[in-house]
Amino acid sequence: MVVVPDHDDIARLVAARIATIVRARAAEGRPCVLGLATGSTPIGVYRELIRMHREEGLSFAHVTTFNLDEYYPMAPDNVHSYVRYMWENLFSQIDIPREQVHIPRGDLPRDEVEAHVVAYEAAIVKAGGIDFQLLGIGKTGHIGFNEPGSGAESRTRLVALDMVTRRDAAADFFGEENVPREAITMGVATILAAREVAILATGEHKAAIVRRAVEGEVAVDVAATFLQRHPGTTFYVDAAAAADLTRVATPWLLDEVKWTDALVLRAVVWLSQTTGKAVLKLTERDYAEHHLSSLLARHGSAGDVNGMIFNELGSRIRGRSKLPSGQRMICFSPHPDDDVISMGGILRKMVLNENQITVAYMTSGNIAVFDHDVRRYVDFLARLARDQRLDVEAIEAMRARVLAFLAQKKPGDVDSAEVQDIKRVIREAEAISGIETIGLTATAARFLNLPFYQTGKVRKDPIGPADVAIVKQLLRTERPQLVFVAGDLSDPHGTHRMCKEAIESALAELKADDPSFEQPEVWLYRGAWQEWPITEATWLVPISQDELRLKIQAIFKHQSQKDSAPFPGQDDREFWQRVDARNKETAAFLDRLGLAEYFAMEAYVVA
């Protein structure tokens, strides 16, 4: 198990290991055989391999690859095809011969699939077996498409996809109904035959399944648990994905620990949860029975520790009177609704405290607008033109072009530039309405429309100099004293993570280039998927019933995301419902610890 602070560290470590193996096999005079995976997690590895090829001369001329899986049916030129994914993200940018690339075929007639999967297995054996197998892990614990029920002896075959897997892929296909119901995948036994296996996981949303795969019993309902039997397997996880592991979450249950202030806080909060007692009611017996006697030995009596933690948690509560006033601040919102979803409560307080607030919407969010909304708006424009004697001819021509394009559009197709612009404008208008609800004006909004997002596809380009330059210019112009940044890693397609990268790069460059630039304080918020744990939060901001109601009203202004958002993740609830439950639960958690009772709360971490 390798746990690193950031997902980028995983990419560098794994790519370096692959490069070592490739070079070692070349020195031995024999080819290297790689097993490769798709999805968002390995992209960083592939980008690093491409860099090493270009800058360090890493050659793939004598590398043979076998991909884990492919949807069925699936044409190789389809936008969702793993053939296309691999050539776009790796093969076309390195020197690997086409004939040395092997990917399961999703375009074969059904009666030819059986012979194909047998031949695929035979090709792996003929190549000498897989030297290094790269894996991700699904929320059901699947590796490849080995869904719950896959046996340890399974080989490459056609499988039916689990409902959770199809739902997880729904965003890529613009709807679960468009996700294929079957796939061809290497089997568990095929994967276990590799000489070395690296399995990658990043983000809070993978924490539970990582713990199950690493610490749970080996079972057919979680295919990743079979890797416990493979001596050459290494899990590479970032801190967020490792959070639920016993060695991270409750290390005092495993061995003697070095008590830090942060670990003491986590231990006492955990003890309070485990015993069902408020912090101030914990006894020496509670500590002793739960392997925490060494904590008392370090700090004294239970009363001393309880009082210290109670006061520490209480000091983190920041009502309006303890929040900044009269300051310049920027709220960076990756999508045009993350601001009100994640921090609508504190934004309202900051408005009342007469701060100078800029809300910077980093991407257009246009791929998250349904086509039916576009049809509705162009129809509205046409009717308005006729009634108000606007340029009816131009608007009708635009409407005809848009409707004609949408009529022939297939699920997952990239929108025309015109349709992308309409979707962008829809989201911009909603964003303005949202911030007006909490007391800001339209002049507070900045629409950065960063280039990395402008692919028209779910999968985005990496952050580049142009993205960083736009963020730098805004920071240089506004010179904020405080900035809010999305710090969650559970965004289904990594846009939040990439926006955070652009901001961090811009701040670092400004620090190096402009000595007069005063670095702002950075507060990290979390979005629609998770909240900061009480033990990690720097500040806990109470929200009254009226403030939460206003926050939800601001979320309602994002009508294109209402009722059924295009990219909801694994949670079927609407964003406002998640916010309502999450903010109330944060307050309730604090109440259960025995602190003051509040209606709702938002949590922030000072970076």
Closest CA to 39 of 89, 95, 73: 89
| H or E element at residue 296 | helix 293-299
Query: Do 190 and 124 meet the contact criterion of CB atoms below 8 Å apart?
Result: yes
Give 443-452 pLDDT, tens digit per residue.
999 999 999 9
Sheet with 445-447: strands ordered across: 445-447, 356-361, 328-333, 482-486, 521-525, 600-606, 539-543
> Long-range pairs for 415-420 at CB < 8 Å and ≥24 separation?
415/366, 415/367, 415/456, 419/371, 419/374, 420/364, 420/366, 420/456
Other C-beta atoms within 10 Å of 292: how many?
Answer: 24
Distances (CA, A) of 76 to 86, 103, 104, 373, 455: 11, 10, 10, 31, 20
pLDDT of residue 154: 96
Give 347-361 pLDDT, tens digit per residue.
999 999 999 999 999
Domains observed in the chain: 2-246 (3.40.50.1360), 250-315 (no CATH), 320-368+414-606 (3.40.50.10320)
Check 48, 70, 121, 147 and give the catalytic one: 147
pLDDT band at 164 (very low <50, low <70, confident <90, very high): confident
pLDDT band at 79 (very low <50, low <70, confident <90, very high): confident
pLDDT of residue 565: 63
| H or E element at residue 554 | helix 545-556
Give 529-554 pLDDT, tens digit per residue.
789 999 999 999 999 999 999 999 99
Q: Tokens 């948690």 label which residue?
A: 313
Region of poorest pLDDT, from 172-176, 222-226, 329-333: 172-176
pLDDT of residue 390: 87
| H or E element at residue 496 | helix 495-513
pTM: 0.86
| One-letter amino acid of 189 | A
Catalytic status, residue 217: no
User: Would you say residue 457 has pLDDT above 80?
Assistant: no
Helix axis angle for 417-437 and 392-408, nearest 10°, is 110
